[in-house]
């Protein structure tokens, strides 16, 4: 073919290859760490280039290992910068050739970020062929190295062997390494979950910035960074610690924060939940909505759920989890997992604590629903409170009412059962406002309150089953109000462009303050980023979508979009008529 070019290994490269079986590569297992190291270097390079060039696709930086026993192949795939034709011909490096210790044939498919896609294929003799892939279909950048294993080296297709080699030799790799497996629902197992070091990643990028870029370009790059990374960079250069006091930089940072599309919103749609008054009861309705003014509203057929209480069901959280919604009856005992796309409904069984005698009333407060990626499990976390309704039967318990303490329970779909969660401190409770909680990055988050007016962000780690609390200080300037009353403060937790945010306003002033969380569990970890208003006739917020759009409900029961970029207010003409309303970000599970 005209696009084919044959190369022969000559000189130092051929000599190095012939030495691999005689010297330090006599330990065959070293091949995997060499190839993973190369993949990690490619990811580091695109990570740096992506900060300098906003046009580079912002996809996930990962390494995938795919064993295929039927074909006797092992593939090492990365989403790094990729290789050029010159790289394939002359710059593969000695470490790459260690793969011949366990393979008798290798094929590389690679696309550099700025070049065409090429295929590298080894030949039986000391040669290889480089071919332009004329059949490539807009593939993203990255590299796929496929090893055709020798018949006596098939042990390297075993999952345990691969995982042990990664654990043994790749603990320095900061990028996620996934292994294809049949043992998890989505078939991908994160191997090096212990080693992802964000601090090291940030310091690497910061050092590159200081060494190679002019100051104005550094500021432009830094205005695109997350708050957490920006805070960490302050320890590397003193002038960066006061960037938050620079109004020009903060304006640039705000604009980038809003305009940069976060991957959380990729392939998502919006659901609007409305709970309307209906003949002395409340009726729950769910709509799929689209259009700037919700011009397209399609009512979804909701499942028939137990409705002992005349208040209809609610949706737990402001987002779906792998295409699944958690429906529950407020203060009641009934909870369900429902996939609107497939209409599959899982009825969650009652907990053993619900078998108390009639003299004890239960108040069940559902706090969160999410996915445990470590155990491939869906979980629900709730608080159960006990109250006596018949004082005559209090002696049913040894010590009277004091022996019945509130408990935290967690449901596991994998085991279809509830269990008690051990806590050693008083966990702040979720306020009963609709939409004050969500699942994000492996945790259920809610805004919680104790006995006093102080608020805390509470985050429940579904994998480790632990609570993390983060104090949420008041971000309203109290000195501008006469006789300031903390009880008149309204606070709303939301996910804003992929960041945890807290929005506050005082009484009916309709001026709003938004602070962004930098890091969980730390002191002084919130940064006030937006102040806007007053917005007339605003009652409270409903939720948020991407690109800084916040949905509010007005005092006349209409819905209104507010754009943080333009400060434009757009009434939607959707009447709630005294009902409850919630905005849900929905994403289908593409694997079902």
Better-scored residue on pLDDT, 356 or 318: 318
Whether 581 has a pLDDT exceeding 50, the answer reads yes
Q: Compute CA 133 distance to the chain's CA centroid, rounded to the nearest angstrom.
A: 34
Whether 398 has a pLDDT exceeding 50, the answer reads no
Residue 220: what pLDDT?
Answer: 77
Give the right CATH number for 5-195 from 3.30.70.100, 3.30.450.40, 3.30.565.10, 1.10.3720.10. 3.30.565.10
Mean pLDDT of all residues in 431-439: 78
Neighbouring C-beta atoms of residue 320, cutoff 10 Å: 25
Torsion of the alpha carbons at 7, 12, 15 and 21, rounded to the nearest 10: -100
Mean pLDDT of all residues in 220-235: 75
Q: Are 143 and 39 in contact (CB under 8 A)?
A: yes
pLDDT in tens, 360-387: 778 889 999 999 988 899 999 999 988 7
Whether 12 has a pLDDT exceeding 60, the answer reads no
Residue 451: what pLDDT?
Answer: 78
| Segments making up each domain of the chain, as ranges | 5-195, 215-259, 263-587
pLDDT in tens, 52-82: 665 666 677 899 999 999 999 999 999 999 9
Which of the four pLDDT bands, split at 50, 70 and 90, describes residue 278? low
Mean pLDDT of all residues in 259-282: 80
Rg (the chain; Cα; Å)? 28
pLDDT in tens, 15-54: 545 555 554 445 788 899 999 999 998 988 887 777 666 5
Better-scored residue on pLDDT, 488 or 50: 488
Which of the four pLDDT bands, split at 50, 70 and 90, describes residue 141? confident
Mean pLDDT of all residues in 525-532: 93
Residue 398 DSSP one-character state: T
| 462 vs 130: CA distance, rounded Å | 47
HSE-up (13 A, CA, CB side) for residue 304: 0
Beta-bridged to residue 23, according to DSSP, are: none
Residue 400: what pLDDT?
Answer: 46
Better-scored residue on pLDDT, 90 or 221: 90
Residue 437: what pLDDT?
Answer: 92
Domain 5-195 and domain 263-587, same fold? Reply is no
Q: Is 498 helix (H, G, I), strand (E, B) or coil?
A: coil
Residue 308: what pLDDT?
Answer: 58
Residue 402: what pLDDT?
Answer: 41
Instruction: Report the top-level CATH class of 263-587.
Output: mainly beta
List all residues 6 or more positions away from 492 whose beta carbon is below 8 Å from its beta carbon.
433, 436, 447, 502, 503, 504, 540, 541
Whether 121 has a pLDDT exceeding 70, the answer reads yes
Mean pLDDT of all residues in 392-414: 68
């Amino acid at each position: 073919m005209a696009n084919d070019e044959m190369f022969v290994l000559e000189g130092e490269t051929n000599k190095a290859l012939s030495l691999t079986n005689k010297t330090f590569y006599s330990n065959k297992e070293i091949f995997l760490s060499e190839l993973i190291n190369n993949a990690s270097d490619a990811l580091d390079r695109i990570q740096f280039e992506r900060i300098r060039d906003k046009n580079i696709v912002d996809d996930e930086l990962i390494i995938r290992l795919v064993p295929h026993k039927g074909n006797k192949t092992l593939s090492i795939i990365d989403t790094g910068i990729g290789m050029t034709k010159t790289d394939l011909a002359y710059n593969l490096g000695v470490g790459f050739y260690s793969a011949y210790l366990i393979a008798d044939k290798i094929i590389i498919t690679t696309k550099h970020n700025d070049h065409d896609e090429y295929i590298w294929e080894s030949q039986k003799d000391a040669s290889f062929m480089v071919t332009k892939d004329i059949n490539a279909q807009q593939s993203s950048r990255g590299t796929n190295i496929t090893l055709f294993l020798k018949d006596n080296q098939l042990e390297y297709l075993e999952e345990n062997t691969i995982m042990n080699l990664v654990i043994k030799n790749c603990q320095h790799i900061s990028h996620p390494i996934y292994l294809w497996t049949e043992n998890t629902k989505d078939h991908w197992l994160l191997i090096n979950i212990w080693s992802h070091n964000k601090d090291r990643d940030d310091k690497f990028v910061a050092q590159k910035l200081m060494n190679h870029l002019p100051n104005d370009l550094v500021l432009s790059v830094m205005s695109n960074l997350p708050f957490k990374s920006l805070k960490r960079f302050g320890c590397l250069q003193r002038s960066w610690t006061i960037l938050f006091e620079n109004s020009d930089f903060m304006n640039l940072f705000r604009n980038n924060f809003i305009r940069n599309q976060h991957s959380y919103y990729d392939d998502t749609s919006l659901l609007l939940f409305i709970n309307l008054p209906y003949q002395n009861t409340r009726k729950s309705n769910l709509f799929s909505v689209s259009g700037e003014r919700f011009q397209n509203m399609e009512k979804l057929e909701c499942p028939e759920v137990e409705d002992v209480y005349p208040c209809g069901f609610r949706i737990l959280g402001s987002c779906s989890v792998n295409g699944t919604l958690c429906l529950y009856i407020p203060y009641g005992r009934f909870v369900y997992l429902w996939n609107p796309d497939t209409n599959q409904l899982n009825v969650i069984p009652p907990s053993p604590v619900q078998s108390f005698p009639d003299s004890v009333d239960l108040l069940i407060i559902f706090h969160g629903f999410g996915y445990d990626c470590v155990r491939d499990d869906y979980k629900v976390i709730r608080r159960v409170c006990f109250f006596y309704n018949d004082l005559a039967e209090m002696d049913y318990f040894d010590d009277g009412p004091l022996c019945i303490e509130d408990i935290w329970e967690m449901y596991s779909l994998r085991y279809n059962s509830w269990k008690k969660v051990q806590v050693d401190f008083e966990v702040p409770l979720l306020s009963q406002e609709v939409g004050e909680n969500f699942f994000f990055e492996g945790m259920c988050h809610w805004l919680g309150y104790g006995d006093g007016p102080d608020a805390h962000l509470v985050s429940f780690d579904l994998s480790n089953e632990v609570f993390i609390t983060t104090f949420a200080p008041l971000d309203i300037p109290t000195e501008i109000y006469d006789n300031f009353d903390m009880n008149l403060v309204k606070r709303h937790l939301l996910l804003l462009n992929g960041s945890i945010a807290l929005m506050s306003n005082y009484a009916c002033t309709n001026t709003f303050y938004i602070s962004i969380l930098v890091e969980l569990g730390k002191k002084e970890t919130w940064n006030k980023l937006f102040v806007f208003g007053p917005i007339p006739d605003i009652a409270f917020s409903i939720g948020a979508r991407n690109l800084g759009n916040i949905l509010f409900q007005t005092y006349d029961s209409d819905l209104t979009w507010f754009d943080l970029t333009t400060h434009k207010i757009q009434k939607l003409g959707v009447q709630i008529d005294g009902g409850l309303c919630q905005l849900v970000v929905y994403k289908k599970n593409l694997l079902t």
